[in-house]
């Protein structure tokens, strides 16, 4: 059974029993609702809710996530717990994540084990809580703590949860403590939904939005969560739940959430697989092609800071030039020298980075690289570097072009996609999933885009080949289109379906 029920000494015991981690899917939700109705017919003073084993519950069953919602809906189940005349005590005997934390908040009382943790990590999957947390949590812990927990997804250990007021007690023997709670004391605890909402604090919301913009730039879910919390303060509790649920359902269908869930499952699979073959070769090839494309754009018309800004706007934490400054330009220089003997003589070579090393501009450690770092007070643009590109373009008889930001990031990303497809065709990479994991974990590709090849899938092979076809006219060697991309475009198949030999 997904949920078990029993009575002992006038107390109802309800356990979530859904191995391996007690995820709360349809069957568990129905079991909890059945337990509410069962408890209200029995001569008991309370219900003690726990999870079987060392886990309270790990949250939503993501395998059911893309299915259409079906009754009973979780918000309705939690409302039934919250409003029941039989008080429920949540015994948080291990991790309580996502909607498991929401279940606990709907209970009248929460008792936490000293080694347990609780939190709402939905943001990390591109979503917001969808079963009442945006309204229950501010009523329990206050506005500031609720904004922080929901918009960052950070988990709380027992001491912080107790201090915040999210749980009432912390004990090692949680079941005994729940049994011993005085009935009169339990009856005096106000149901969460009846607690007053905190007053709206505009400065607090603005600070939360700025923090989210800085730490999770261009991601939709954190900002949407903050909006839902703010809007909910101004209307009745149950009306606010409707707006929360609407936002939750909309977000889970958006590309960012789909990408983040995809990479989450890919990581779970990789942990089971343990080893990804050819990782170093894949990292080296894709990163080298990324830098080559960046240097070409730089030499042919842009500046390092324009390239960096375009890639940051695409979703990277740092652009390629600032990242090189931090690592040291001598590192990439040494790598280029190792490739000298095998480099295709017909392939265009951009010498600007070599000249930078000759000038001693090695990055942050020398105070100057692609940027200058005066007095250690952050980076500033360096006109000398821009002049180097103009000089080299003149020597190479190249006509420089003013690339708009979207063309900059498009060229760099297409270069990586094409190189990754070559790796698949050569059998060095075994699957698009491996490439996605590597590009997210090792090459800083934006996680919320799901990895390089997942993003390529959103563009479609036909569109990619058309764009590469235009670039081939500029340089048929560098932009030689992968046979894998050509095959997928011709047959109308998805890159994700390519499995390799």
Q: Tell me: the pLDDT tens digits for 87-96? A: 999 999 999 9
Could you tell me the CA-to-CA distances from 394 to 49, 173, 389 in Å, in that order?
74, 77, 8
The per-residue pLDDT for 10 is 95
Q: Judging by DSSP bridges, how do beta strands 169-170 and 156-157 pair with one another?
A: unpaired
Main-chain dihedrals φ then ψ at residue 23, nearest 5 degrees: -65, 150
Sketch the domain layout of the chain as residue ranges.
Answer: 3-252, 279-497
Give the residue-averaged pLDDT of 181-205: 95
Q: Is 64 a catalytic residue?
A: no
pLDDT-derived band of residue 60, with 50, 70 and 90 as boundaries?
confident
Q: Read off the pLDDT of residues 221-265 as tens digits, 9 standing for 90 and up.
A: 999 999 999 999 999 999 999 999 999 999 999 999 999 999 998
Give the residue-averaged pLDDT of 20-45: 96
* CATH code of the region 3-252: 3.90.226.10
At residue 1, does pLDDT exceed 90?
Answer: no
pLDDT-derived band of residue 469, with 50, 70 and 90 as boundaries?
very high
Q: In angstroms, rounded to a whole number, what is the distance separating the alpha carbons of residues 82 and 63?
A: 27
Reading phi first (left if > 0) and then psi (alpha if -120 to 50, else beta), residue 73 is in beta
**Catalytically annotated residue among 102, 306, 392, 419:** 102
Q: What number of other Cβ atoms are within 10 A of residue 196's Cβ?
A: 8
Reading phi first (left if > 0) and then psi (alpha if -120 to 50, else beta), residue 196 is in beta
Q: Is 102 a catalytic residue?
A: yes
CATH architecture of residue range(s) 279-497? Orthogonal Bundle (1.10)
The tokens describing 365, both together, are: 């450690």
At residue 405, does pLDDT exceed 90?
Answer: yes
**Catalytically annotated residue among 122, 177, 230, 392:** 122
**H/E element holding 118?**
strand 117-119
At residue 191, does pLDDT exceed 70?
Answer: yes
The per-residue pLDDT for 273 is 63
Q: What does pTM read for this prediction? A: 0.91
pLDDT-derived band of residue 68, with 50, 70 and 90 as boundaries?
confident
Q: In angstroms, rounded to a whole number, what is the distance separating the alpha carbons of residues 496 and 288?
A: 23
The tokens describing 147, both together, are: 């904004």
Q: Read off the pLDDT of residues 123-169 as tens digits, 9 standing for 90 and up.
A: 999 999 999 999 999 999 999 999 999 999 999 999 999 999 999 99
């Amino acid at each position: 059974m997904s949920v078990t029920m029993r009575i002992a000494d006038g107390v109802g015991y309800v356990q979530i029993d859904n191995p391996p981690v007690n995820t709360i899917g349809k069957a568990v939700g129905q079991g909890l609702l059945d337990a509410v109705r069962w408890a209200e017919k029995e001569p008991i003073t309370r219900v003690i809710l726990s999870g079987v084993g060392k886990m309270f519950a790990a949250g939503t069953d993501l395998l059911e996530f893309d299915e259409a919602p079906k009754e009973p809906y979780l918000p309705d189940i939690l409302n039934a717990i919250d409003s029941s005349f039989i008080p429920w005590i949540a015994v948080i005997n291990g991790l309580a994540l996502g909607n498991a934390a929401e279940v606990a908040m709907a209970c009248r009382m929460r008792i936490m084990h000293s080694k347990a943790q609780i939190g709402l990590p939905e943001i990390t999957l591109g979503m917001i809580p969808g079963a009442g947390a945006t309204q229950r949590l501010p009523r329990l812990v206050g506005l500031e703590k609720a904004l922080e927990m929901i918009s960052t997804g950070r988990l709380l250990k027992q001491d912080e949860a107790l201090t915040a007021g999210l749980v009432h007690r912390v004990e090692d023997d949680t079941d005994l403590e729940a049994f011993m709670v005085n009935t009169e004391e339990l009856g005096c605890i106000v149901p969460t939904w009846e607690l007053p909402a905190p007053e709206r604090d505009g400065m607090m919301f603005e600070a939360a939005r700025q923090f989210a913009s800085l730490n999770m730039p261009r991601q939709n879910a954190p900002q949407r969560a903050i909006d839902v919390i703010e809007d909910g303060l101004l209307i009745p509790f149950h009306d606010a739940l409707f707006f929360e649920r609407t936002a939750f359902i909309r977000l889970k269908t958006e590309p960012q959430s789909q990408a983040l869930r995809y990479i989450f499952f890919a990581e779970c699979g990789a942990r089971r697989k343990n080893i990804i073959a050819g990782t170093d070769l894949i990292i080296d090839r894709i990163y080298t092609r990324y830098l080559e494309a960046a240097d070409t754009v730089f030499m042919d018309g842009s500046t390092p800071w324009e390239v960096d800004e375009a890639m940051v706007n695409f979703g990277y934490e740092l652009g390629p030039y600032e990242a090189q400054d931090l690592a040291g330009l001598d590192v990439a220089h040494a790598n280029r020298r190792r490739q000298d003997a095998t480099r295709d003589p017909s392939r265009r070579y951009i010498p600007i980075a070599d000249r930078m090393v000759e000038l001693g501009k090695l990055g942050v450690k020398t105070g100057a690289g692609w940027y200058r770092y005066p007095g250690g007070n952050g980076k500033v643009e360096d006109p000398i570097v821009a002049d180097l590109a103009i000089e080299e373009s003149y020597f190479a008889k190249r006509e420089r072009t003013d690339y708009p930001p979207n063309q900059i990031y498009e060229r760099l990303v297409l270069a990586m996609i094409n190189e990754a497809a070559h790796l698949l065709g050569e059998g060095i990479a075994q699957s698009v999933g491996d490439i996605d994991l590597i590009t997210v974990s090792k090459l800083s590709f934006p996680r919320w885009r799901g990895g390089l090849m997942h993003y390529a899938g959103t563009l479609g092979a036909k569109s990619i080949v058309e764009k590469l076809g235009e670039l081939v006219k500029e340089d048929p060697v560098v932009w030689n289109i992968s046979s894998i991309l050509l095959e997928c475009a011709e047959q109308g198949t998805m890159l994700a379906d390519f499995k390799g030999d």
